[in-house]
C-alpha cells in the first residue's frame, strides 16, 4: 500500500508539472514579448496603487532604505552654535563696563574665575525663588467668622496666631459677636523687622482657609 501511495503521488506531481509547462507554452504563443511588456507594467502599476491606497495616481512606494536615508540626513545636520554677543547685557561683572570680566583691566586672575561662578549661582537662586512663588499661588487669605478676610503666612511654626487691634475692632463692627478675654500672662511675639509685639487679650475665632483646592476649615 505504501509503494502504491508513493507511485500515485509521483504521477500526480508529474501531471501537475506537465500541465504548468503546457499552460506557459500556450501563453508564450498567444502573446509576443512586445505585447506582454505593457500588460506586465499595467499590472505592476495597479498593484502599487492598491498597496498605497490611492486611486488615479501612480504614487511610488517609499522603501525602508529611503526612510533610513532621511533619518541619517536629519541626524547628520549639525546643531546651530550660539553666537556670543560682543558686549555682555549686564556689563562687566567687575566694573560694569562694556566688556567681559576676562577682558577687564581691573580684575585679577582669581576674580576672573570666581565672579562668573557667583553670577551664575545667583541667577539659579533667583530662578528657583521665582518657581517657588509661582507654586505658592500668590497671596494666601483667611476668612474670620465668615465676615472678615485677611492675609496669613502658612507653616510659620508659631504657637500663637496674632491679629491687630484694628482687625479685632473691624470684626466687632461687622457684628461677628466676638469677645476679648484677658490673658493671665501676656504673650510676646516677633513681628516683621524683628520688633516685639505684646498681646494681652485672647479671642476665639472661626477660621476658613482659602487654598488651591478650595476653602478648608481646620478642625
| Pairwise CA distance, residues 187 & 100, whole Å | 55
Rounded to whole angstroms, the Cα distance separating 218 from 205 reads: 12
**pLDDT score recorded for residue 31:** 58
Of 169 and 59, the one with more pLDDT: 169
C-alpha cell at 148: 472678615
Residue 158 has pLDDT above 60, yes or no: yes
Q: What is the pTM of this model?
A: 0.35
3-state secondary structure of 111: helix
**Where does the pLDDT of residue 8 fall: very low under 50, low under 70, confident under 90, or very high at 90 and above?**
confident
pLDDT at residue 134 tops 80: no
pLDDT more than 70, % of the chain: 55
**pLDDT confidence bin for 58, thresholds 50/70/90:** very low
Q: What's the average model confidence in pLDDT over 18-33?
A: 71
The model's pLDDT over 26-57, given as tens digits with 9 standing for 90+, comes to: 766 665 555 555 565 666 666 655 555 444 44
pLDDT of residue 70 exceeding 80, the answer is: no
Cell of 51: 498597496
- What integer is the mean pLDDT of 94-107? 79
- For residue 111, the model assigns a pLDDT of 83
Residue ranges of domains in the chain: 2-52, 86-137, 141-216
The predicted model gives 145-168 an average pLDDT of 80
Helices (H), the chain: 2-30, 33-52, 64-76, 109-136, 165-173
Amino acid at each position: 500500500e505504501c509503494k502504491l501511495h508513493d507511485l500515485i503521488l509521483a504521477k500526480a506531481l508529474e501531471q501537475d508539472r506537465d500541465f504548468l509547462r503546457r499552460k506557459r507554452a500556450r501563453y508564450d504563443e498567444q502573446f509576443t514579448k512586445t505585447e506582454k511588456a505593457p500588460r506586465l507594467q499595467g499590472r505592476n502599476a495597479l498593484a502599487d496603487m492598491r498597496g498605497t491606497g490611492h486611486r488615479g495616481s501612480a504614487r511610488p512606494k517609499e522603501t525602508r532604505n529611503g526612510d533610513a536615508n532621511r533619518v541619517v540626513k536629519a541626524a547628520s545636520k549639525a546643531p546651530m552654535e550660539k553666537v556670543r554677543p560682543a558686549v555682555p547685557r549686564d556689563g562687566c561683572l567687575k566694573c560694569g563696563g562694556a566688556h567681559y570680566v576676562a577682558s577687564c583691566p581691573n580684575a585679577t586672575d582669581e576674580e576672573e574665575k570666581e565672579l562668573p561662578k557667583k553670577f551664575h549661582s545667583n541667577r539659579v537662586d533667583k530662578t528657583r525663588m521665582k518657581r517657588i512663588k509661582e507654586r505658592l499661588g500668590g497671596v494666601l487669605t483667611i476668612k474670620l467668622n465668615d465676615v472678615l478676610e485677611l492675609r496669613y503666612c502658612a507653616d510659620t511654626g508659631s504657637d500663637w496666631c496674632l491679629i491687630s487691634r484694628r482687625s479685632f475692632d473691624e470684626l466687632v463692627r461687622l457684628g461677628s459677636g466676638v469677645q476679648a478675654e484677658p490673658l493671665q500672662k501676656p504673650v510676646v511675639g516677633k513681628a516683621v523687622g524683628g520688633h516685639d509685639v505684646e498681646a494681652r487679650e485672647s479671642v476665639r475665632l472661626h477660621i476658613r482657609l482659602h487654598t488651591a483646592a478650595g476653602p478648608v476649615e481646620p478642625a
